Amino acid sequence: MRHEGKVALVSGGARGQGREIARRLAREGADIALFDLCERPETSQYPGATREDLAETAGIVEAEGRRVVSGVVDVRDHEAVGDFVARTIDELGAIDIACANAGLVTWVPFLDLTPAQWSEVMDINVTGVFNTLQPVLRHMAERKSGTAVITASCNALEPGESIAHYTASKHAVLGLTKNLALEFGPFNIRVNAVLPSAVNTVMGNNSTNLKWIFGRDGATEEEYLAATRQWHVMRNSPALKPSVIADAVSWLSCDDARFITGSALPVDAGHLILPGFNHKPITE
C-alpha cells in the first residue's frame, strides 16, 4: 500500500499500459483519475480504445476499493485536459502522481510521411504531454509536492525503421522530462520517464506492425512473440506484459525513489544493450 492516500492521474488510461498503471496504483492504495480519447485517431493504423474499455478500467479501479474519476478527453485539447485536471482535484482533492502515458505510433517511411501523419503523432505524443503536465505541475507546485512519470520508449534513445516521426516525438519527451525535472525540483516535484521495449498491447501487436516486422500479411501473435524474443537479452522474454511497465511506474512514483528525478528508466529486458548489426547491407 505504498500509494495509500494518494491520487494518480493517468492519460491513455482506457487499455494497455494505461489500464495496468491504473490497476497497479489502485492496488497499492491510490485513487485514480483516468482519461482517453476513446476513438481511433485519424492516421492511426490500429483500433483506438473505446468507451467500453474506459468503463472497464474504471471498474477495475473500483474493484480495488478505490475512488475513480474517468472521462473521454482528447489529450491534444489543452482546455479539455485542463478541465479534467480541475475536475479531478475537485472530486478527489489533489493530484499526487501524474502518468503522461497516452501515445500513438504509425509505421511509414520518412519520404512517404504526410503532414497529417507527422502532426498527429507529434500532437499526441509531445503536445499531449505538455497539455497533461502543465495544469498538473501548476497544482503540484502550489502544494510543493508531487511526481510525474512520462511514458517514452527505447526509441527515445535509438532510431527505428519507418518510425522517424515517432522516434522524434520520444526524443522530444525525454528532453522535456529532463527540463521539467530541472524546473520543478525546487518545488519538491520529481519528473522521470520510463522507456519500454516491445510491449504486448494493441499498439505493438497489430496487423500493421506485424506486416512491418515480417514483410507479409497474416502473421500470428505466436510469430510476434517469437520474433520479439530476439529484441531482448533476458532469457525467454518476448514482448513484455504491460503490467511490467506499471511495476516501474509505481516504483518511480513511490517514496523509495524520492531522490530520483530527471531519469530515463529502460524497461526493456536488456534491449538497449544488444549489439547492433545491419539487416540490409548494400553490397554494390
89-144, pLDDT tens digit by residue? Answer: 999 999 999 999 999 999 999 999 999 999 999 999 999 999 999 999 999 999 99
Hey, which residues are catalytic here?
166
Return d(Cα 254, Cα 236) in angstroms, integer.
29
Residue 258 lies in a domain: yes
- Mean per-residue pLDDT, 265-273: 95
Whether residue 74 is predicted with pLDDT greater than 90 in this model: the reply is yes
Residue 210 lies in a domain: no
Q: Is the pTM of this model over 0.85?
A: yes
Residue 277 lies in a domain: no
Number of domains in the chain: 1
Residue 17 lies in a domain: yes
Residue 68 lies in a domain: yes
**CB-based burial label for 77 (10 Å; 0-12, 13-18, 19+):** middle
Residue 284, CB-side half-sphere exposure with 13 Å CA sphere? 0
Full domain range(s) for residue 246: 7-199+240-268
What CATH number did the domain enclosing 162 receive? 3.40.50.720
Residue 57 lies in a domain: yes
What's the confidence (pLDDT) of residue 281?
64
pLDDT tens column, 177-189: 999 999 999 999 9
Residue 215 lies in a domain: no
Residue 224 lies in a domain: no
